[in-house]
Chains A and B, each alone.
Chain A
Amino acid sequence: MSQDCCAPEGNVMILACSGGSNVGQLSNQAAVELTQEGFGKMYCLAGIGGHLSGFVQSAKDIPQMVAIDGCSVGCAKAILDHAEVPIKNYLVVTDVGIENNHDFDLKKEEVQRIKEAVRDACDRDQPGLPKAATGACGCCG
């Protein structure tokens, strides 16, 4: 068992919509790829929506986070507002110019645009945020 500290400093918590539209699934896919690239770590919006204390408190206590909604309906934002989680960075996929439809053949170019927009959203509020997370081992689960 690692004796390294597992405090999440340096890890951006990513909370993404995964709804029943292309933009919902693009949000989710962007979160997956940003996690794989080391920018941050996707986390459980459903757990927060279910008011499970581990997820809610983690979202409240994390220093850096970004919420990604697919469209202006804003379900991810509504979940976080309801749980009284402060939203430090926020992005709506349709605001990046991607049309909301039911084409689930996700386009790599659109995923890439969303990832860039997420990085920009986080950099705008926290200049100098590393492009890839460093250090912390993140979630111990």
Chain B
Amino acid sequence: MEIKVLGPGCPKCQATEKNVKETVADSGLDVQVDKVTDLMEIARYGVFGTPAVVVDGEVKSVGKIPEKQEIMTWIEK
């Protein structure tokens, strides 16, 4: 599984990355987490804003900091 956190580096983007990484650690699952800060690459996902979270190519969250509980549901699917 691969998760990408999209965002240029603002506090909300950092908080999102933190939540994702901590949830992945808690899950014990093999999940690769990457941060995407390049605006051109972010634009390819078609998101209206950031932060955004992409799980295996599917956008799961846009413009908010997802809660760990919600992130866990994406990982466990």
Binding site for B on A (CB under 8 A): 1-9, 11, 13, 41, 43-44, 47, 52-59, 61-62, 136-141
Q: Does B51 lie within 8 Å of A7, measured CB to CB? A: yes
Query: B interface, how many residues as a size bin?
Result: 20 to 34
Summarize A's interface: helix, strand, loop or mixed. Answer: loop
Q: Assess the B48–A8 pair: CB atoms within 8 A.
A: yes
Indicate whether B52 reaches chain A with its CB closer than 8 angstroms: yes
Give Cα distance in the complex from A1 to B9, angstroms: 9
11 contacts between A and B (CB under 8 A): A1-B8, A1-B37, A3-B8, A3-B10, A5-B11, A5-B13, A6-B10, A6-B13, A7-B51, A53-B60, A54-B45
Knowing A57-B60, A58-B59, A141-B42, the reply to whether A7 touches B49 (Cβ < 8 A) is: yes
Given A53-B54, A62-B62; 6 other pairs, CB 8 A cutoff: A5-B50, A6-B50, A44-B46, A53-B58, A54-B46, A57-B62
If A3-B10, A5-B13, A7-B51 touch, whether A140 touches B43 (CB-CB below 8 Å) is: yes
Q: Which of A11, A137, A140 contacts B47 (CB 8 A)?
A: A140
Q: Which of B44, B54, B62 contacts A58 (CB 8 A)?
A: B62
Inter-chain CA distance A8–B9, complex, in Å, is 15
Closest residue of chain A to B39 (Cβ to Cβ) is: A140
